[in-house]
């Protein structure tokens, strides 16, 4: 049998059973897209809330006379602000790259693969930044706790509990990031690079 027979058989295939009308499917997809957007925005809003909550609490406590805002407390809030601002900046940047990739879905295979490769590169970059930023964040906060303790602004139990909690959280996020980096992102980058190379290679 020659290829023409296979081609003819291929063309005889028809879609059956697609009785769900397009508007109903469109409505479901709209819900999915809206839910995904809410999840992403929710994450950014949560980070922004953490950023401002620290300041709001410190200022409220100062105004109400519960706890004076010392230069050390100001510095601690400032440092945390810097970390969270950096986190939000990276998150927004990653979001832009993901959006760009989605726009490229209607482009050629090459354009789409390049956009997907770029997204994975940014995710790898994020993981690498996290590899040093998380320990730095934990260390800086632990140092601030200790400094506050010696300045008499923080109880000894607070130093231990705060540092332990921060370290545990940092270790958990670090381990999850490392696992994703090693088992998902690196193989994916190689896979995409391989597909791009296959596309670039001129078989002639």
Q: Summarize as ranges the residues that interact with another protein (CB under 8 A).
A: 1, 3, 5-7, 9-20, 22-26, 28-33, 102-113, 116, 184, 188, 191, 195, 198-199, 202-204
Q: Tell me whether residue 67 or residue 99 sits nearer to another protein (CB atom).
A: 99
- Distance separating alpha carbons of residues 37 and 105, to the nearest angstrom: 18
Min. distance of Cβ 47 from another protein in angstroms? 23
Min. distance of Cβ 97 from another protein in angstroms? 14
Q: Tell me whether residue 11 or residue 64 sits nearer to another protein (CB atom).
A: 11
- Are 90 and 134 in contact by the 8 Å Cβ rule? The answer is no
Q: Tell me whether residue 78 or residue 107 sits nearer to another protein (CB atom).
A: 107
Question: Distance from first CA to last CA of the chain, Å, rounded?
Answer: 28
Min. distance of Cβ 12 from another protein in angstroms? 5
Q: Tell me whether residue 19 or residue 156 sits nearer to another protein (CB atom).
A: 19
Min. distance of Cβ 82 from another protein in angstroms? 33
Angle at 152 between CA 149 and CA 154, to 5 degrees: 50
Min. distance of Cβ 187 from another protein in angstroms? 9
Q: Tell me whether residue 112 or residue 147 sits nearer to another protein (CB atom).
A: 112
- Distance separating alpha carbons of residues 167 and 87, to the nearest angstrom: 18
- Torsion (CA) 143, 146, 151, 156 in degrees, nearest 10: 160
Who contacts 54 (Cβ-Cβ below 8 Å, separation ≥6)?
A: 77, 80, 81
């Amino acid at each position: 049998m020659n290829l023409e027979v296979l081609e003819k058989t291929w063309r005889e295939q028809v879609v059956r059973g697609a009785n769900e009308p397009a508007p109903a499917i469109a409505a479901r997809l709209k819900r999915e897209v809206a839910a995904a957007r809410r999840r992403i925005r929710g994450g950014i809003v949560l980070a922004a809330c953490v950023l401002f909550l620290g300041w709001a609490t410190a200022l409220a406590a100062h105004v109400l006379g519960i706890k004076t805002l010392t230069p050390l407390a100001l510095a601690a809030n400032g440092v945390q602000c810097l970390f969270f601002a950096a986190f939000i900046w990276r998150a927004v940047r990653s979001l832009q790259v993901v959006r760009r990739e989605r726009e490229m879905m209607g482009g050629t295979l090459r354009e789409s693969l390049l956009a997907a490769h770029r997204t994975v590169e940014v995710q790898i970059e994020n993981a690498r930044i996290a590899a040093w930023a998380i320990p730095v964040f934990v260390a800086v906060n632990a140092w601030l706790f200790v400094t506050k303790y010696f300045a008499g602004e923080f109880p000894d139990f607070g130093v231990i509990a705060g540092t332990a909690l921060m370290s545990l959280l940092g270790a958990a996020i670090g381990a999850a990031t490392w696992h994703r980096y090693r088992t998902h992102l690196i193989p994916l980058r190689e896979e995409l690079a391989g597909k791009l190379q296959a596309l670039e290679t001129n078989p002639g």
